Amino acid sequence: MIMKNIYIVLLVAIALFSCYDDKGNDDYKELEEVEVVLPDETYNRSFGEKLQITPTVTTSIPENDLMFDWEFYGSLGNWWSKYVSVYQGKVMDFTCVQDDTLLKNDGTYELRLNVTQQSTGRHFYSNVVSVNLVSQVSQLGALVLHGDGTSSDMGVIVAEEFQLTASSSPIVAQVFPNCYSDANGRERIAGKGVWNVQVYPSYGSNAPDNIVLIAVTDQGSAVVNSKTFSRIGEWNDLFYKGLNDGVPQACWNDNYNVYAFDGGDIFQKSYGKSTFTIPSLSGDEYGYELYPLLYRSSGSSSIQGVLFDQKSRGFIAIGQIYDFTRLAPIDVNSDEEETVSAPFNPANMQADLIHMDEGGASGRVLAVMKRDNGEYFMAELDFKASGYSKVPKYIYELNHLDDVKNGEVIDWAFGSSYINMCYYATADGVYRFSADAGKTVTSEALMTVDNTRIQFDGTITLMKILKPVVGKGYYLSNVEMVVGTYGGTAGSGKLYSMEIDPFSGRVQTMNAYTGFDQIYDVSIKGW
């Protein structure tokens, strides 16, 4: 009987518990979920560049109960791999810094967003996306020197037309206006920019530590690491023990050497040397006041290079470019001919040199000159000629062009080997003319190949045709024109890039890039 009563009690207890449990099931509610979606499957960034991602988070859970962790998959230097938190916050705003553990090398890294509900400890994960990270060495393109008149910065435009070689696949254009200041604690280069260049001779990749960027302003200079944009010195640091005057005037490359103009002296060094030593040519030694430009000739054994002396206002031939010897004025009367008939004497131009570059017919050089009376003209010269008397070809008077006569020209540019690629720029526009065997110069506004006038926004501050001697060569050298404009406010600078049809001298394609201050100079960064 006792056992029977116990059995009955147990049955009642089980029944009561079952009823209570059923009541609990009636009150059960499913826990809220969180859906996390990242907008893109792939992100391409350079080390040092920000990665900014805004996710789509769908949930009824209050956001103050959620914690957001952005996680890269990696090994942290250990033999096992896991997801590692690198940034906390709903919207990712992370600078991709190269390190020795997680983000060690160029490559593709997996990224996800881990959302944790703090009250329950539950985790919700986004879709896994790919982040392709490359070193800043891949930020190759147009090196832009710009600023506000008191300080300057250097930026890079990564675009197809600014690569050394034509890309086999489309390049998404990107503008990085403040590469220098971003890499140097927001510090800029003091002064108004004058010029910038990458020291990268044809064989320079054999000595990568010597490939640097140089920026010169009216108040200072900066020598910059080509990969990281970090400042490593100034102009004078390129010279051995103060053998220079500290007056930076120009710097350029050739196949093996780097040349520099400083205080009227010319220095040269091989790509394997980090510093310049004694001057290769001292202007004072010869009594020259050298214009900071060296023309290299390859066609004449008697003229391997050409300089312009601002004292005599004449062109000087370099007979041996290797050691800057056999210097002589290019005097038409020095040839052994009895009678010389020449349109002018290169040794005595009786005018100041304003601009000189290869231009006009193949193998010719064009020099814009200004006489003492204020008149402008352009001389056409053939420095590859067999004798001095054959160097001068034509004189083109320019003073009938109002913009020229009124001193409103801010830049000149010539395309090599094509007579229709002659240009000048004012603050308001760019104009084209021809150097056609001495014929009278007439100018026209820069036009497209289909006869549409090119219009520019803002005030023009720069116009040049890119002919860089950098690396193994630039595939659009001599046909790519750049024009910089400025709208008068910070960030209103714009750079136009135009591919020129060399036969007509007109524009075939045009792109525009924004985000700069006033643009002072543009060159090609190939390393």
pLDDT digits (tens, 9 = 90+) for 368-385: 999 999 999 999 999 999
Name the helix (H) or strand (E) containing 11: helix 2-27
C-alpha separations of 50 from 46, 183, 201, 454 in Å: 8, 13, 32, 35
Residues 6+ apart with CB under 8 A from 25: none
Label residues 164-201 b or e (16+ Cβ within 10 Å = b): beeeeeeeeebbbbbbbbbbbeeebbebbbbbbbbbbb
User: What's the rounded Cα separation, in Å, for the pair 361 and 365?
Assistant: 8
User: What's the rounded Cα separation, in Å, for the pair 453 and 444?
Assistant: 9
Residues 6+ apart with CB under 8 A from 78: none
Q: Please, which residues bridge with residue 57 across strands?
A: 36
pTM of the entire predicted model: 0.76
pLDDT digits (tens, 9 = 90+) for 202-255: 999 899 999 999 999 999 999 999 988 999 999 999 999 989 999 999 999 988
Which pLDDT score, from 0 to 100, does residue 8 have? 46
Q: How many residues does the chain have?
A: 527
User: What's the rounded Cα separation, in Å, for the pair 411 and 428?
Assistant: 12
Q: Is 277 exposed, middle or buried (0-12, 13-18, 19+ CB in 10 A)?
A: middle
Look up the CATH architecture of domain 35-134. Sandwich (2.60)
User: What's the rounded Cα separation, in Å, for the pair 181 and 152?
Assistant: 9
Average pLDDT of 413-427?
A: 98
Residue 470 CB-half CA count within 13 A: 29
Residues 6+ apart with CB under 8 A from 241: none
Average pLDDT of 515-522?
A: 98
Token pair in block for residue 240:
């051995």
CA R_g for the chain: 33
Q: Are strands 351-358 and 365-371 parallel, antiparallel or unpaired?
A: antiparallel
Asked if 139 and 227 touch (Cβ cutoff 8 Å), the reply is: no
- Inform me whether the pLDDT recorded for 136 exceeds 60: no
Percent pLDDT > 90 in the chain is 79
Confidence band for 16, pLDDT divided at 50, 70 and 90: very low
User: What's the rounded Cα separation, in Å, for the pair 222 and 180?
Assistant: 10
Confidence band for 275, pLDDT divided at 50, 70 and 90: very high
The closest of 475, 481, 474, 476 to 507, measured between CA atoms, is 481
Token pair in block for residue 64:
């103050």
DSSP state of 450: T
- Inform me whether the pLDDT recorded for 504 exceeds 70: yes
Phi-psi region of 374 (alpha: psi -120 to 50; beta: other; left: phi over 0): left
pLDDT digits (tens, 9 = 90+) for 319-331: 998 899 999 999 9
Which pLDDT score, from 0 to 100, does residue 17 have? 45
